[in-house]
């Protein structure tokens, strides 16, 4: 058999995880911690806005904010139903992880080339922690 058998998830933990994630995204409005620290957008920047656009069935806007907006839902389901991994073979698991990582980094590179530093969601955040620290010690 190529794929693992799905397990019955602990729905209380799944619900608690989604609830905590929703609180973090909606109430705290933390945004991207990577961008707050470095000023540079991360490979996931725009994903939340893309998923909200997809929930409004505005798929053009979803692809604009993040072309890989379709991935989080199946990945979350895979984590819930296949906690030991999707594939039986460790080699297949490793190949899938490498392909996924390559896809994410490739899309990130294209978005950085086309949109950085001034087009949302890939804009530079001038008020970032590294810049603030550098200004404290007189580097900038
Ligand atoms: Zn980000």
Digit-coded pLDDT (tens) for 90-139: 899 899 999 999 999 999 999 999 999 999 999 999 999 999 999 999 99
- Is 128 in contact with 33 (CB distance < 8 Å)? no
Cα distances (Å, whole numbers) of residue 45 to 23, 31, 74 = 18, 9, 19
- Is 53 in contact with 65 (CB distance < 8 Å)? yes
- In this prediction, residue 28 carries a pLDDT of 76
Rounded distance from Cα 128 to ligand 1 centre (Å): 13
Rounded distance from Cα 67 to ligand 1 centre (Å): 14
* Residue 94: count of CB within 10 angstroms of its CB: 12
Rounded distance from Cα 33 to ligand 1 centre (Å): 7
Digit-coded pLDDT (tens) for 24-54: 777 777 789 899 999 999 999 999 999 999 9
Q: Which residues are CB-contacts of 97 (< 8 A; sequence separation ≥ 6)? A: none
Residues surrounding ion ligand 1 at CB below 5 Å: 32, 42, 44-45
- Check residue 28 and report its DSSP letter: I
Rounded distance from Cα 1 to ligand 1 centre (Å): 37
Backbone angles phi, psi at 75, to 5 degrees: -65, -40
Q: Domain extents for the chain?
A: 11-136
Rounded distance from Cα 45 to ligand 1 centre (Å): 3
b/e sequence 128-140, b meaning 16+ C-beta within 10 Å = beebeeeeeeeee
Q: Which residues are CB-contacts of 107 (< 8 A; sequence separation ≥ 6)? A: 43, 67, 68
Rounded distance from Cα 4 to ligand 1 centre (Å): 32
Rounded distance from Cα 100 to ligand 1 centre (Å): 17
118: left (phi over 0), alpha (psi -120 to 50) or beta: alpha
Digit-coded pLDDT (tens) for 10-27: 888 888 888 888 787 777
- Pick from 118, 112, 120: which is nearest to 49 by CA? 120
């Amino acid at each position: 058999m190529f794929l693992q058998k799905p397990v019955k998830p602990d729905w209380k933990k799944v619900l608690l995880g989604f609830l905590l994630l929703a609180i973090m995204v909606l109430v705290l409005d933390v945004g991207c911690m990577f961008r707050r620290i470095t000023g540079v957008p991360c490979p996931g920047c725009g994903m939340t806005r893309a998923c909200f656009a997809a929930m409004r069935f505005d798929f053009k806007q979803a692809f604009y904010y993040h072309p890989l907006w379709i991935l989080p839902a199946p990945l979350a389901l895979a984590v819930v139903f296949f906690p030991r991994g999707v594939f039986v073979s460790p080699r297949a698991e490793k190949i899938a992880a490498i392909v996924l990582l390559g896809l994410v980094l490739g899309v990130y590179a294209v978005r950085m080339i086309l949109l950085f530093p001034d087009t949302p969601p890939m804009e530079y955040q001038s008020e970032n922690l590294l810049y603030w620290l550098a200004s404290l010690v007189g580097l900038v």
